[in-house]
């Protein structure tokens, strides 16, 4: 498979998704034609070898009591910080593939190993890179390890924002992955340290230890409320590419917005049942007093 051909198919698939999203619901014939072509392109892509990708590379630096300017870092803190950071990345990575239990070994942990490839100044820290695997990493696809790091970074950023922002950021995160992130924050709190995380030249940093404590508390189990609910109403629409939906609740008339969960492989099928009486099963997460986020797991039509 020539990489250019694969990229051509991926570009066509993205264009088809955009056309389907923008197409009015009344254009049934055009929608069916576009969705048929989309399935053909997906079938072509599925027969090709998986693409390779560039390894994840990040810079993780610290300052605070364990750090002596740009000269060095205390070994006991450095070991604890790197261990809990690696655990966090492995937990977020593994949760992309399987539902994690709260105990036991993290499955496929070797897929998410990191190497220290150098020291980073400002204050003091480490250059980290995804450990090599059996294949050669050739083209700039997003690696699962990088996706895990970006998800954890987004949650850290939201942990010092609003309740609604944090609820959105953690909506698809496994509880064990959140626990692993909180353990990384706890390590910094215990040693009176803060960190700066840079990936793709985009930095995120905690300003002080009090901010790290604040983030840790907001990610506590006591502050995050989860529930499974059944709701009756009607779908108002879905964006298959973004995997988001709108649903009108029969009892209150409220419109809820949420994400289509991985249990529903083809989100576009929801557009076939717009305005029909439905019962949906959703998983909700609420942070503090903020609005809940919704993950759609199942739906079924209500028949008289």
Max mean pLDDT range (105-114, 182-191, 279-288)? 182-191
Quote the strand ranges of the chain, DSSP E.
57-64, 67-68, 72-73, 114-121, 124-130, 193-199, 202-205, 224-239, 244-249, 255-260, 277-287, 293-301
Residue 253 gets the label, from left (phi > 0), alpha (psi -120 to 50) or beta, of left
3-state secondary structure of 245: strand
Domain spanning 225-301 has what CATH number?
A: 2.40.50.140
Q: What is the DSSP letter of 220?
A: S
The 10s digit of each residue's pLDDT in 169-187 is 998 888 999 999 999 999 9
Q: What is the mean pLDDT of the chain?
A: 87
Pairing of strands 244-249, 224-239: antiparallel
pTM value is 0.75
Position 3 scores a pLDDT of 47
């Amino acid at each position: 498979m020539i990489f250019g051909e694969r990229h051509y198919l991926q570009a066509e698939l993205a264009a088809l998704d955009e056309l389907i999203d923008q197409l009015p619901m009344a254009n049934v014939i055009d929608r069916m034609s576009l969705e048929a072509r989309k399935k053909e392109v997906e079938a072509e892509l599925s027969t090709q070898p998986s693409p390779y990708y560039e390894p994840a590379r990040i810079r993780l630096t610290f300052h605070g009591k364990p750090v002596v300017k740009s000269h060095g870092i205390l070994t006991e803190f450095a070991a604890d910080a790197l261990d809990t950071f690696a655990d966090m990345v492995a937990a977020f990575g593994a949760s992309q593939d399987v539902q994690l239990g709260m105990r036991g070994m993290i499955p496929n942990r070797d897929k998410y190993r990191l190497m220290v490839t150098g020291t980073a100044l400002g204050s003091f820290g480490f250059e980290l890179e995804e450990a090599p695997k059996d294949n050669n990493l050739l083209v700039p696809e997003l690696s699962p390890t990088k996706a895990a790091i970006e998800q954890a970074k987004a949650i850290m950023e939201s942990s010092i924002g609003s309740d609604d922002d944090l609820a959105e950021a953690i909506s698809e995160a496994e509880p064990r992955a959140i626990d692993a992130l909180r353990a990384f924050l706890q390590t910094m709190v215990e040693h009176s340290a803060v960190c700066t995380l840079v990936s793709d030249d985009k930095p995120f940093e905690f300003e002080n230890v009090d901010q790290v404590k604040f983030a840790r508390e907001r990610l506590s189990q006591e502050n995050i409320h989860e529930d499974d609910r059944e709701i009756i109403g009607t779908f108002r629409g879905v964006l298959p590419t973004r995997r988001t939906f709108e649903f009108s609740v029969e009892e209150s008339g409220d419109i809820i917005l949420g994400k289509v969960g991985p249990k529903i492989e083809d989100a576009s099928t929801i557009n076939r049942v717009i305005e029909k009486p439905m019962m949906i099963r959703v998983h909700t997460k609420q942070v503090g007093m903020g609005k809940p986020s919704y993950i759609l797991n199942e739906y079924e039509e209500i028949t008289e």
